[in-house]
A and B are shown apart, each in its own frame.
Chain A
């Protein structure tokens, strides 16, 4: 365990799950038979997904179907969690999100997370900053922390037929040609040949919609990077540190559409993912992406992200994930959602609101920080059990069967008419 902290995240609960796994889905077993339990007194929450509840029905026709299928009463263990995630087969409706543009994500935690995600068979996104910070790992000796080191750690662990690695690229690292490198690299070939390589176009991110990547660099790096990035000395001359700012990139409907088509043209054997920020026109952008052939659209809610961002953005910019999901209602393709997901209830709510799978970002990072060998595996084990319990309680036995009817919100979960491509909501 390192000095990694996540003060704005349920860090202690995630660490507990990383240590004890599925047992953390329940109150302490030592209290069984002695303590009285019940719903906790309602705590006001600003998060609409947290405030929403999953609402099992009394009548459960899909359970009857399952009962007929099994010739016995179904249980939560009969829930099938396997699904297709952005063109990959995944045993769980989960994927590993890219870790943010911080030194946090650059440490060996990335490699530990890669190996565990691979063993779990869930898709994994590798962040756009890995190459500029840790190198390719081909001639530059970046070793396991490099991009190719992360890919290799995943590929060594992943079982046949499941999972996939998705490599992110943003406007600035078009210069580094990350996708071209991976697509032509021998070490990525087994994934490519088995249809398990993808590329994610990073249009934006949850923590700072409208801004590009921000990292704090030391003085030496500031000089080196000043040719490519804006470097601002906001921390004072004596701090020895500076702020490196990347641009968010300029997008219009046509730019997004054509970038996706070019990805499909240039990398015909790779899956194409698009990561959107929680912008007010997120539904239009998602529709453009699917129409242009994206295999998945990832929406990062404003509560997402592990990276460095101005506090004004963390507290007051961007749509919450719940509102993103509401605006995209009835997605025309594979929708992936991320933003503060770490346990089954929030994951199930996202799935009910239209997402095909949910991304683990900070939760995964904390889990591997707690235990680099099995922390993520245990966290996912607990989350999977919760998903099975919740989905079966809703009288359903496939993740794709969840619908907004399974959700109740104090403010309602009204679904607006879907915005047509070419219009801007908000």
Chain B
């Protein structure tokens, strides 16, 4: 029985500890079990996506421009022979571009985001992390959600089959995934409905914005298997999430939230791919189109419509392993603001 009250979950659980020295962290039985479990997750993801006709690409680490859609996080500048380059905050621009090579691609992409310092106490933010990034040409949001759901279910099935020893070391009861593996589809709820739920619980959620971290934890704590939130308002996401022509102001996008209070695992959407629309959406998100030169050239020449998503690997690992903090799912964790190797 889940005894977490809404009020408890509304306060992000502080990380009671920070990573120790690299030697302490790497040699701890917990870390070893977590990293072996993460290895199973990656194997299973590659197995599932490879079997479904996806080609794995190795994503770039630096480029002249990167995803601006990270909430309040600073990008890292790199001096590239006198040009200001960025470390990737996400692979989104390259994912869309890569569809001119293959219709179904994925990558295990490293991301760096200098998150606001307040995220150091959410237990779910890292300044350096990885995403299982998927993009599908000519696909709808529903298609992408189906792939995400199938991928998470497959990964969990493999973990239960192959990583029972690691789960035992971690004290994680495999029965926690029984509901997820029951074959029932993940529940879908709109952002509007989620906001109404939160208001009903007395949580002050801005209806025009992303569900805040505390709000996500409240919703997540009330569920026993992952669920989708859809139709976020424009103004809460990057320019590449497609606006719903039938519901102006709402995006054809989704988040996948883990149960038990672990919160967001994944964000995805149907993508904008029309040149003029992307320019207008860039302005709506405060961006200067001039810096997106290479990307806009590709878009102008034509890229396929698509849908896709990115699953936070360390967050997925944290949920599966039942960890208190997401940093425990990284061999060399970078907690926002904490100086570490």
Q: When the two chains form their complex, are residues A262 and B233 in contact, meaning their CB atoms are under 8 A apart?
A: no
Q: Is the CB of B72 within 8 A of A261?
A: no
Q: Which of B117, B118, B212, B235 contacts A262 (CB 8 A)?
A: B235
* A258 CB contacts on chain B under 8 angstroms: 234-235, 284-285
Docked-complex contact B208 and A183, CB < 8 angstroms: no
* Cβ–Cβ contact B286 & A262, under 8 A: yes
Cα-based distance from A249 to B284 in the complex (angstroms): 11
B39 at the interface (CB under 8 A from A): no
| A293 interface residue per 8 A CB criterion | yes
**Given B72, B114, B283, which contacts A266 in the complex, CB threshold below 8 Å?**
B72
The yes or no answer to A312 lying at the interface (CB within 8 A) is no
Nearest CB to that of A270 among chain B residues? B72
| Contact-residue bracket for chain A | 35 or more
Across-interface contacts of B115 in A (CB, < 8 A): 184
Out of A169, A184, A254, which one reaches B114, CB within 8 Å?
Answer: A184
Question: In the complex, are the beta carbons of A269 and B284 less than 8 A apart?
Answer: no
Instruction: Summarize A's interface: helix, strand, loop or mixed.
Output: helix
Q: Is B300 an interface residue (CB 8 A)?
A: no
Question: Does residue A238 face the partner (Cβ distance < 8 Å to B)?
Answer: no
B75 contacts the other chain (CB 8 A): yes
Contacts A250-B283, A255-B280, A258-B285; A180 near B72 (Cβ below 8 A): yes
Residue contact B287 to A174, C-beta cutoff 8 Å: yes
B11 to chain A, nearest CB (A): 16
The residues of B that contact A180 with a CB separation of less than 8 Å are 72-75, 114
Establish whether residues A186 and B75, one from each chain, have CB atoms under 8 Å apart when the complex forms.
no
> When A186-B117, A255-B280 are in contact, do A262 and B75 touch as well, CB less than 8 Å?
no
**B-contact bits for A162-176, CB 8 A (1 contact / 0 none):** 000000010110110
Contact of A232 with B by CB under 8 A: no
Q: Please give, as numbers and ranges, the residues of chain B lying within 8 Å of A172 by CB-CB distance.
A: 288
Interface string of B51-84 (1 = CB under 8 A from A): 0000000000000000010011111000000000
On chain A, the residues within 8 Å of B235 by CB distance are 257-258, 260-262, 264-265
Tell which of A175, A184, A264 touches B206, judged by Cβ atoms closer than 8 Å. A264
Contacts of A265 in B (CB 8 A): 71, 206, 208-210, 235-236
Residues of A within 8 A of B290 (CB): 228
- Cβ of A416: which chain B residues have Cβ within 8 Å of it? none
B115, B235, B290 pick with most chain A CB within 10 angstroms: B235
Q: Which of A255, A257, A266, A267 has the most CB of B within 10 A?
A: A266
A268 and B288: CB pair below 8 A?
no
Tell me the smallest distance from the CB of B44 to a CB of chain A, in Å.
Answer: 34
Q: Are B288 and A177 touching (Cβ within 8 A)?
A: no
Cβ contacts under 8 Å, B283 to chain A = 249-252, 255, 259
Chain B 165-207, CB-CB to A under 8 Å as 1, else 0, gives 0000000000000000000000000000000000000000010
Chain B stretch 231-288: residues in CB contact (< 8 A) with chain A? 233-236, 280, 283-288
Q: How far is the CA of A269 from the CA of B213 in the complex (A)?
A: 13
CB of B150, distance to nearest CB on chain A (Å): 30
Chain B residues with CB under 8 A of A292: 208
Smallest Cβ-Cβ distance to A180: which chain B residue:
B74
Please provide the chain B residues from 10 to 61 with a CB less than 8 Å away from any CB of chain A in the complex: none
User: Is B337 close to A, CB under 8 A?
Assistant: yes
Given contacts A175-B288, A259-B284, contact A183 B234 (CB under 8 A): no
* Contact call A264/B209, Cβ cutoff below 8 A: yes
- Tell me if A189 counts as interface (CB < 8 A to partner B): yes
| Chain B hits for A169, CB < 8 A | 286
Complex: A263 Cα to B210 Cα, angstroms: 12
Q: Which of A263-299 contact B (CB under 8 A)?
A: 263-269, 292-293
Q: Return chain A residues, CB-CB under 8 Å to B68.
A: 174
- Distance A228 CA – B291 CA, assembled complex (angstroms): 9
The residue that B72 contacts in the complex, of A171, A175, A184, A293, with Cβ under 8 A, is: A184
B73 touches A184 (CB 8 A): yes
B302 within 8 A of A: no
- Checking A171, A181, A250, A269 against B118 with a beta-carbon cut-off of 8 angstroms, the contacting residue is A269
Is the pair A177, B75 in contact by a Cβ cutoff of 8 Å? yes
Count, chain B residues at interface, CB 8 A: 31
Q: Is the CB of A261 within 8 A of B234?
A: yes
> Which residues of B sit under 8 angstroms from A183, Cβ to Cβ?
72, 74, 116
**In the complex the two chains form, is B75's CB within 8 Å of A264's CB?**
no
| B286 in contact with A259 (CB, 8 Å) | yes
- The smallest beta-carbon distance between B244 and chain A, in angstroms, is 15
Partner of B288, one of A174, A252, A255: A174
Minimum CB distance partner of B86 in chain A: A177
Contacting residues, chain A, for B209 (C-beta < 8 A): 261, 264-265, 268
Question: Which residues 56-97 of A have a CB within 8 angstroms of B?
Answer: none
Identify the closest chain A residue to B337 (Cβ).
Answer: A186
A302 to B159 CA separation, bound complex (whole angstroms) = 66
Q: Contacts A175-B291, A186-B337, A264-B209 given: A259-B285 contact, CB under 8 Å?
A: yes
Given contacts A177-B74, A181-B74, contact A268 B286 (CB under 8 A): no
Measured between alpha carbons, how far is A269 from B118 in the docked complex, in Å? 10
In this complex, which of A181, A260, A267, A268 has the most chain B Cβ atoms within 10 angstroms of its Cβ?
A268
Chain A proximity of B296: nearest CB distance (Å)? 15
CB-nearest residue of chain B to A173: B288
- Residues of the A chain whose Cβ atoms lie less than 8 Å from the Cβ of B71: 265-266
Min C-beta distance of B132 to chain A, whole Å: 24
Bound-state Cα–Cα, A297 to B114, Å: 30
Give A186 to B118 CA distance when docked, in angstroms: 10
Shortest CB–CB separation between residue A201 and chain B, in angstroms?
Answer: 8
A362 CB to closest chain B CB (Å) equals 28
Contacts of B291 in A (CB 8 A): 175
B117 touching A189, Cβ below 8 Å: yes
* Most chain B C-beta atoms within 10 Å of own C-beta, residue among A177, A181, A189: A177
- In Å, the complex CA distance between A216 and B136 comes to 49
Contacts of A249 in B (CB 8 A): 283, 288
Q: How far is the CB of B42 from chain A (nearest CB, A)?
A: 29
- B285-A184 in contact (CB<8A): no
Chain B's closest residue to A189 (CB) is: B117
Cβ–Cβ < 8 Å partners of A189 in chain B: 117
Q: Which residues of A contact B206 (CB under 8 A)?
A: 264-265, 268
Give every chain A residue within 8 A of B286 (Cβ-Cβ). 169, 171, 174, 201, 259, 262-263
13 contacts across the A-B interface (CB closer than 8 A): A177-B74, A177-B75, A180-B73, A184-B73, A258-B285, A261-B234, A261-B235, A261-B236, A262-B236, A265-B208, A265-B210, A267-B72, A269-B118
List 7 other contacts, CB 8 Å, given A171-B286, A186-B117, A261-B233.
Answer: A254-B284, A255-B283, A255-B284, A258-B234, A262-B236, A265-B71, A265-B209
| Chain B residues with a Cβ under 8 A of chain A | 68, 71-75, 114-118, 206, 208-210, 212, 233-236, 280, 283-288, 290-291, 336-337
The 3 closest A-B pairs by CB, nearest first: A261-B235, A258-B284, A265-B209
